Amino acid sequence: MRVIITENFKALSLYAAQQIAMAIRRKPNLVLGLATGRTPIGTYEELVKMHREEGLDFSKVVTFNLDEYHGLKPTDPSSYNYFMWEHLFKHININPENVYIPDGTIPVTGIREYCLWYENRINFFGGIDLQLLGIGNTGHIGFNDPGSSLASDTRLKVLSLKTKKQNGPDFGGADKVPDCAITMGIGTIMQAKTIILLASGSKKARILARALEEPVTSLVPASILQMHPWVKIVADEEAASKLRWKNHYRRVEEVRKRIGYEEVYVK
């Protein structure tokens, strides 16, 4: 696990976008796992800029989103489908057939089958090469709130009240946030070949420290990333402020830079 500490949100966004761009240039048909929330918005802005100014080509890229609220149509402005088109897809040359986002309109009776299909699609493309993640205030990744099985696959999850509260502003109040979401499981996420988790702002400092520097527990779902062989945590100064080992993480990056040691980030 590498921890990259950036000066601020802008630098974090640029770093993440550069990692993704590098992966796409190395593997034009990259299978890219994508996240929503405020944190990746800056990364998407940088990617759009790279597409416009440097011709970063998304025509062969396949994307899988982590999650979607259950009961929302793709046209609903609060849906993650809408979010992704607004912030990224409509600004780049992605083939709409290569965009996969869980469908929030699937009736409850069909969800199990639908989730298996979603997992199968990921496998059909050879698995996710690079998964982008944020971290929720509860320590969730995707919508895997505390108590989620660390081996879970794509399924319907009942959201915690804390998560409904966190995402309340997107709906005009926590009580208006849907009770359930379809989310990739923690097991699904852990199968991604490489992972980048973004954390920004002082509100994430405590949960990030718990996830990275305390024992792995299903009560802090992001802590499972300690078990992933190829993960980068990119945190800005504020989010990193409670990391006890932050000076060590900085030193690791300094030494790596000095000796010119950088792995290829797509296997």
Please, what's the largest Cα pairwise distance for the chain? 56
From the CB of 80, what's the least distance to ligand GLP, in Å? Answer: 7
Nearest CB to ligand GLP, comparing residues 37 and 104:
37
Which position among 34, 35, 106, 192 is part of the footprint of ligand GLP (CB under 6 A)?
35
Instruction: Report DSSP state, residue 209.
Output: H
Q: Tokens for 8, please give them.
A: 């601020």
CA distance 43 to 54: 16
Paired sense of beta strands 31-34 and 130-133, if any: parallel
Binding to ligand GLP by CB under 6 A, coded x per residue (else -) over 103-132, reads: ------------------------------
Q: Is 12 in the site for ligand GLP (CB under 6 A)?
A: no
Paired sense of beta strands 231-236 and 194-199, if any: parallel
Nearest CB to ligand GLP, comparing residues 35 and 233:
35
Coil/strand/helix, residue 166: helix
CA distance 174 to 157: 17
Q: Is 176 in the site for ligand GLP (CB under 6 A)?
A: no
Instruction: Report DSSP state, residue 168.
Output: G
Which position among 104, 142, 185, 221 is part of the footprint of ligand GLP (CB under 6 A)?
142
Q: Is 138 in the site for ligand GLP (CB under 6 A)?
A: no
Which position among 13, 36, 63, 98 is part of the footprint of ligand GLP (CB under 6 A)?
36
Q: Tokens for 100, please give them.
A: 């996969």
- Residues forming the site for ligand GLP (CB under 6 A): 35-39, 66-67, 134-136, 142-143, 163, 167
